[in-house]
Copies of this chain bind each other. A is one copy, B any other.
């Protein structure tokens, strides 16, 4: 089972996928959105190209909602959700999906925990039965908790503790976020994971796993009436959970310092750096700022046509890689990053200088009309590609609704991207990407003295 569980880390620049996918939607009229009496939000995204449905349940809880000192419990809970109920013992869901030739998965981020199955349409009722059952019906014994805690501890050892990149990413993120719990790793700090127990798990489950804290997304070869009927017969019978207070996490104070976080490790061959700043997400930004940050990221460092790639990788040949990233999908303020690694005999310092110069030039002189048009076109084209995959669409709607957005937010996305001006892009670069408050990571081979 555990090999199928995806752990989504909150590493800044690597999470551009959800933002890019935001625009990948079917015609507006097709998507239906309603709420059951017990508070469960339901989104239906018809997609009749193939006889398959994607069924996702999104809980509005992630690692940033964990109680202080209980890091890792949201992801731990993702594991516990597969440990069985009175009606469906552990393994039964996996077997059922495997026999159908479908697939299932789950993931945890700082903001959400989601579970999904892709199956033939006539198995939708069975999937709803499974998910509705485990929404409130898990059997959380000490034996189950203890055994699964060993599993997540081992997962941490393998994914993080044995990887210099992952260790650096964790401590870099802890430095970037001085106060907000986004600084705490999704998988948890080892010392706190070791202490997670049945009392913690039951309290977390009772508080967050309930229809009124969840979003059901069904995409695929099915109509909204059918989904409503099936959802009422399964999820509709699940009792409401407690009314939760507004989702307010400790916020970032003003940043005044720059910081550099360094890890040297014999397993590192080529050095690399990442430089990040706290910036608003779509949910927290002033109108237009998040869209401008998305296009700034695209123009500065989004792939082969970007300024960074063209200048630092192609023309000067200093860097083996260089780019930029922005994750606008976070519930709370997110980060914007630039990064690079040297090519041949060039040093990491050369690359940092060259990458910084590109950002400084853009901040000083802005972007051209051609660049902006081209970036918008690329951005919107990516959305069309993303639209093609049913799971992507389900993911986009689920992610949006589980983090405070609306169906309308998704539908108006392309228009808001098209409306971004060159001035807005320069303005967000000037406002947020101040070198005096950048946080930088350096991943170095042991001998390199750079810092």
Contacts and interface: CB of A to CB of B under 8 A. Distances in A.
A262 interface: yes
B257 A261 contact: yes
Contact of A167 (B191, B256, B451): B256
A259 B260 contact: yes
Interface in A150-196: 167-168, 171-172, 174-175, 178-179, 181, 183-184, 189-192
A257 B263 contact: yes
Given A171-B255, A183-B178, A451-B260, A249 B191 contact: no
A89 interface: no
A190 B254 contact: yes
A69 B251 contact: yes
A168 B258 CA distance: 10
Nearest to A251: B191
Q: How many copies does the complex hold?
A: 2
A147 B361 CA distance: 47
A250 B71 CA distance: 9
Given A69-B251, A191-B251, A192-B250, A257 B172 contact: yes
A179 B191 CA distance: 11
A86 interface: no
A254 B248 CA distance: 28
A443 to B, nearest CB: 10
A244 interface: no
A69 B259 contact: no
In the complex, the 7 A-B pairs of residues with the closest C-beta atoms, listed nearest first = A189-B253, A69-B250, A174-B178, A171-B257, A259-B261, A167-B256, A257-B263
